[in-house]
Amino acid sequence: MNKSLSSPLNCCSPTMILTMRRPKNVREDFQTQGDSISQTEGSVFVQEGQHVNLICSYETSSYAASTLFWYKQKPLQSPELLISSTDDDNEDTKSRQRGFSAKKEQKHFNLTKASAELEDSAVYFCALSDTVRRLRRCTGQKSTQQLSVMWWNHQRTLAS
């Protein structure tokens, strides 16, 4: 009898799945006065505790005047502001950001977190100030990034 087969096997470490996808109701031609915003699509797999980076690229005719936003939306809830490019460094802002950060750079406003948590499961989307004003008049979203955090602790015993 092989002892390794009779002992419990621990399978699967905590894993997070980041899925970047565009909803079906999206309008591909979403631009306002030369301004545009987009997010990377696809899937990224990370373990709980690993670094997370969600990509947001934008084009604008007035870099200095534009404000960028990251929103987080839990299932069956309204979107909530997570971070903006004009945030102050105070306790209220840090509480809202929940460990996420974003730095406005030329053409990018990427959302990062050093150590992902299960509670980070949500749909994330970025917006440009002109885009936000226009969203009130249309039904589509430019794009979203869904962060799904999953945890598996699967144990199995093999009998001899």
pLDDT at site 64: 58
Q: With a cut of 50, say whether residue 1 has pLDDT above it.
A: no
Residue with tokens 């053409």: 107
Question: Ranked by mean pLDDT, which of 14-18, 61-65, 92-96 comes out on top?
Answer: 92-96
pLDDT at site 94: 81
C-alpha separations of 112 from 8, 129, 135, 157 in Å: 37, 20, 25, 39
Annotated domain spans of the chain: 14-150
36 - beta bridge partners?
Answer: 59
Q: With a cut of 60, say whether residue 59 has pLDDT above it.
A: yes
The three-class DSSP label of residue 33 is: coil
DSSP letter, residue 61: S
Of the candidate CATH numbers 3.90.1150.10, 2.60.40.10, 1.20.20.10, 2.40.50.140, the domain formed by 14-150 belongs to 2.60.40.10
* Cβ-based neighbour number of residue 135 at 10 Å: 15
Listed in sequence order, the residues at least 6 apart from 146 whose beta carbon sits closer than 8 Å to its beta carbon are 18, 19, 20, 21, 122, 123, 124
Could you report the per-residue pLDDT of 19-32, keeping only the tens digit for each? 444 443 333 334 55
Could you report the per-residue pLDDT of 110-155, keeping only the tens digit for each? 999 999 888 887 888 888 875 444 444 332 344 555 665 544 433 3
Instruction: Give CA 148 to chain center in angstroms.
Output: 9
Could you report the per-residue pLDDT of 5-54, keeping only the tens digit for each? 443 434 444 555 554 444 433 333 345 566 788 887 655 666 788 898 88
Q: Tell me which amino acid residue 111 is.
A: L
